[in-house]
Amino acid sequence: MKNEAIKASLKATKERRKNQTCKVYEVKVDHSHLNSSTTDQLRMLFLEAKWLYNFILSQDNVFELDYRIPKVPVKIKDDFETRRIAHLSSQMRQSIISRTVNNIRGLARLRANGRKIGKLKFKSEVKSIPLKQYGNTYEILDGEHVRIQGIKQKLRVRGLEQLPEGVDVANGNLIHRNGDYYLSITTYQTREYQEARNRCVGIDLGLDKQLVTSDGVAVQYSIPVNKRLRRLHGKLSRQKLHSRNWNKTRTKLDKEYSKSTNIKKDIRNKIVSHLKDSYGVVCYQDENIKAWQRIWGSKILYTSIGGIISTLKQKVHTPVEVDRFYPSTKTCSVCGSIQEVRLDERVYVCRRCGNVVDRDLNASVNIRDEGLRRIGMVRTESTPAETESSTLASLEYLNSIPYVKASSFHEPGSPHASAVGSSQQP
């Protein structure tokens, strides 16, 4: 009877989550409120997780491994010592084993599909511990505190106000990153069904202007390496490898890189969110970002525009990918003729019809038209008032994002307006 009740509960949960959307929130553990005992426990959790993970990889048959492992051998220099697993709970051990087994099965599937793959390697540190069951392995106590299984002290965290009221809290992850601890919380919420918008847009990615839409909006941003990062690199190069001070400097260096990465990630997510909310169909070209990085290196690093495409594929209602070899830059967006365009030519001048337009705007219009042709969709024309209103709304939102500068090709007095000219047609 008990097993039947559990099965019925799991079935009901699965049915309920079909109409829900999954969202993950990350909160930070407040270091200033941790006592010395809790700090040692958190450190030992991740140390034992590393021991257990490396022990799992050393086994011949990981599929029949018992999670109730009291001790594991640990390699110390050229010898092995037996260490006791005292802080990881049984469910944490089981989750680490399950995650490793799933990774092995995933690699096996890739190999069966003909992909070239490597193998899982031993780790010098484990950065996350799965917390499988909410209410048991971890629990949210109030608006500021959480409980982790095996740790007596309530952990004060920052960021729980992100969670909406009434969400269904599921599994989590305890994360160790750059000397700080975070808790990643998976939630299930009521799915918000939005009407699919009829508007469509084409986007062109580049180095001069990171993103240009077919509606005439150009987005530029760049997050260069700061002076502190350069100074830390110089300091690290003068210190003894893997010494205590070297490890401290390395942690500071990782934190600085995380700041830069988070800024670029925030910009990317906000731009994609704007495209998702404003357009039902987003057309883009399959750009070879890796080749761009080999040629221009740091310019790509400062923008991370490659992540925009991968995020678009996941978030947009109808993403349409245009073939990489489609000549979007060489084709005239008015008459369709194709001509060679040098890299230093920022304005496209058609020798056949006389169309004068910015090269990036011309490419984005071509990408939009080619994408719609591929899915058999006809674009509905917007009135000038609707176009102006949406452009102003886009500029206002995009310019509110830190480090982002957005401008319109149709703005009077803008540097792009003279390039577009009166011959530009919708």
- Extents of the domains making up the chain: 19-113+124-190, 200-420
Q: Which residues partner with 188 through β-bridges?
A: 22, 168
**Burial per residue of 100-132, b for 16 or more beta-carbon CB atoms within 10 angstroms, e otherwise:** beeeeeeeeeeeeeeeeeeeeeeeeebebbbbb
Under a CB-based contact definition with an 8 Å cutoff, are residues 282 and 211 in contact? no
Give CA–CA dist 82/2, Å, rounded: 39
Q: Calculate helix-pair angle for 244-278, 384-399, nearest 10 degrees.
A: 170
pLDDT surpasses 50 at 120: yes
Q: Which residues partner with 350 through β-bridges?
A: none
Tens-place pLDDT, residues 122-146: 998 999 999 988 999 999 998 899 9
Task: Please identify which residue in the block is written with the tokens 């084409």.
Answer: 202
| Strands annotated E in 304-419 | 318-322, 347-349, 356-358, 404-408
Give CA–CA dist 85/82, Å, rounded: 10
Give CA–CA dist 410/408, Å, rounded: 5
pLDDT surpasses 80 at 267: yes
Tens-place pLDDT, residues 83-100: 999 999 999 999 999 999
pLDDT of residue 118: 87
pLDDT surpasses 70 at 424: no
| Residue 268 to residues 211, 262, 272, 274, 403, Cα–Cα distance (Å) | 11, 10, 6, 10, 11
pLDDT of residue 9: 66
**Please, which residues have CB within 8 angstroms of residue 132's CB and are 6 or more apart in sequence?**
91, 92, 94, 95, 171
Residue % of the chain over a pLDDT of 90:
52
Give CA–CA dist 56/303, Å, rounded: 39
Task: Please identify which residue in the block is written with the tokens 């540097």.
Answer: 415
| Residue 365 to residues 215, 252, 373, 395, Cα–Cα distance (Å) | 8, 45, 12, 19
pLDDT of residue 414: 43
